[in-house]
Structure 1
């Protein structure tokens, strides 16, 4: 009976895998729209989606801490992604203190502390298990474009120009901070369970965060974008949310496929990231 239940799901995943890239992209878009419609129907206060996103992110970090403390290995983890995460969190904390201090500031502080702990473990305590040769995406290739774009496209508030540029920088950097981790997974081709759970949690968290913004824009009929300011900045905020969601979409597909197939590890074909 269990095998019969899996057979239709396996047939669907096999059919999807055989489709050309454009068809897969279209199916992913349809799935995202369906998920947004479902969330709009069942979630009354869309701010809860943002809280849920932070909760899922915290769960992912908890899994990471479990891996580092129990297994005593950081194999498969990208130190550079953790450093980029710490960087955008530190910048966002500074901006929150000087621009809009709220509960999210406290949550960001907690996330930054745990991220710094993860960096410490990888860089010092578990350095012998760190896959330096696989973590080969240069940080400047991620940071430099974000810095350049933030210089030209940033909020139009009354805050100082430096603070506005820094705020834009952390928004753009958050969207692409996971790229080194994806490079590590692509280089290794096999992702062990806890690392896979962590990256999948990031994907879910970013989708919920993106859903929060998209549904807010829909419900306010675009007025939210006006509140964010004028020029290209409001659109770039929304685009950044969408980009960071779809960056992880392909991995999440293979993660779900592996879980359905009963596999303990996620195997990535060439060209996934």
Structure 2
């Protein structure tokens, strides 16, 4: 069916936006994000719920991968390195959370970790023949070493053991860049099948929710939250920066994902320069 045959309100808005210049699209994107932030602020009063939602959305994304691996019997388009990095930061966070907090976040992270480990097992052993080894070419050390260094230099100044504070900082930094190998692989492939696209989009939504938490915290304290006593002068700003960086890293893909969905396409096509 042609474009004129689908004149739903959402379709009309999409067609209008598509005709606009890049500058107008950028402004519309910013306005949309601000509108979503305000809406979430009005609907969710407990800021902790933002993190719960983010972790839940991440788990939903993993379920999309599990469905793909179980039904399609292929891991084509998936980055094993991203899954390994995800398992690393989740394992560290579960350990730290169990020692330092022991709440609903610990349970959600543990379930997500178990699901991620299953995905890694399927990719490495059961579906190894479909794994794109040559395209999953981002080196682990380029990602892990900077996170270790940053965690040692900038970490929370709480009453917990020094080792636990460094581990907690490490998992925060690792989470912010763990998706990079997946984005690199997709950049190499250019065309992303639906379930992988759903997974990466879920990561984008999860990171937006996490970023919304910090933005609301900073707004409610008129910026004072960035330098709360007892948390270190650079720790909160660094966490805030990590959330924003990861959100922007995924924002470009989310744009093309929404564009493909609105166009009625099953596959997400990325442009040459991403």
* Partner Cα separation in structure 1 for residue 230 and residue 195 of structure 2: 38
Alignment partners' CA distance in 2, 1:97 and 1:255: 36
Work out whether residues 17 and 25 of structure 2, in 8 Å CA contact, stay in contact via their aligned partners in 1.
no
**Does 1:99 pair with 2:100?**
yes
What is the CA–CA distance in structure 2 between the aligned matches of 1:110 and 1:236, rounded to whole Å?
Answer: 27
Asked if 1:11 is matched to 2:30, the reply is: no
Structure 1: tracts of 5 or more residues without a match: none
What stretches of structure 1 move > 3 A for 4+ residues in a row? 23-30, 220-225
* Higher alpha-carbon deviation: 59-68 or 216-225: 216-225
Kept in 2: contact 1:135–1:180 (CA 8 A): yes
Q: How many residues align?
A: 268
Q: 1:18-33 alignment to 2 at 5 Å? A: 18-19=21-22, 26-33=27-34
Measure, in 2, the Cα distance between the counterparts of 1:98 and 1:42.
Answer: 31
Q: What's the CA shift string for 1:197-249, capped at 9, x where partnerless?
A: 11101111111111122112222334544166122111001111111111100
Instruction: Give the Cα–Cα distance (whole angstroms) in 2 for the partners of residues 96 and 227 of structure 1.
Output: 22
Indicate if the aligned counterparts of 1:228 and 1:234 stay in contact, CA closer than 8 A. no
Whether 2:168 is the aligned partner of 1:167: answer yes
Whole-Å Cα distance in 1 between the matches of residues 230 and 244 of structure 2? Answer: 17
**Structure 2 residues not aligned, in runs of 5+:** none
Partner of 1:43: 44
C-alpha separation in 1, matches of 2:22 and 2:104? 44
TM-score, length-scaled by structure 2: 0.92
Paired residue secondary structure (2:216): helix
Where 2:77 maps in the other structure, the secondary structure is coil
SS in 2 for 1:248: helix
User: Which residue among 233, 241, 247 is the counterpart of 1:245?
Assistant: 247
Q: Separation in 2 of the partners of 1:42 and 1:93?
A: 28
Conservation of the 8 A alpha-carbon contact between 1:191 and 1:266: yes
2:266 maps to which residue? 264
Contact 2:68 2:195 in 1 (8 A): yes
Supply the distance in 2 between the matched residues of 1:43 and 1:94 (Cα, whole angstroms): 28
- Tell whether the 8 Å contact from 1:10 to 1:261 is kept in structure 2 after alignment: no
The secondary structure found in structure 1 opposite 2:7 is: helix
1:151 is matched with which residue? 152
Shift of 1:54: 1.8
